[in-house]
Homo-oligomer: A and B are copies of this chain.
């Protein structure tokens, strides 16, 4: 029987989750301390900063977030005057989002932080570690995009994950 020997610390979902939390929380600490941003807000900022004007839906697709998360993040950033909305006048359901100058400034600072952190990480993990990790992640990313082809409306938040 296959009934014995199961070790959580060799189980991929567990390992991935642990690694993601470690790496992610440490970075979150940076921008939370300095700007009081949440992760959805940071991601939204990053998406808009790098791709410019786009809709909420597109933000979600580019940053793998459920639409409610995006909606709330957009609201928060709007409060801060880091982004502004504008109605599309062809299709009035959708609104275009754009960073204000203040938002762009924050974006520039944040991505500088992000770059430094990534460099730090690369130093910490070593070239080999980074490279292995990256190819491993690429394999998963491929699986993600494969899984997003012609699907029955998946139950949960997985939907958001297969964005773009």
Residues of A at under 8 Å CB distance from B? 2-3, 5-9, 11-27, 29, 43, 46-47, 49-50, 62-64, 108, 111-112, 114-115, 117-118, 121, 124-126, 128-141, 143-144, 147, 155-158, 161
Contacts and interface: CB of A to CB of B under 8 A. Distances in A.
A115 B6 contact: yes
**Is chain A's interface secondary structure helix, strand, loop, or mixed overall?**
helix
Contacts of A3: 108, 111-112
B47 A27 contact: no
Copies in the complex: 2
Contacts of A23: 12-13, 16, 140
Contacts of A147: 22
B132 A139 contact: yes
A62 B18 CA distance: 11
A2 B111 CA distance: 9
Contacts of A139: 125-126, 128-130, 132-133
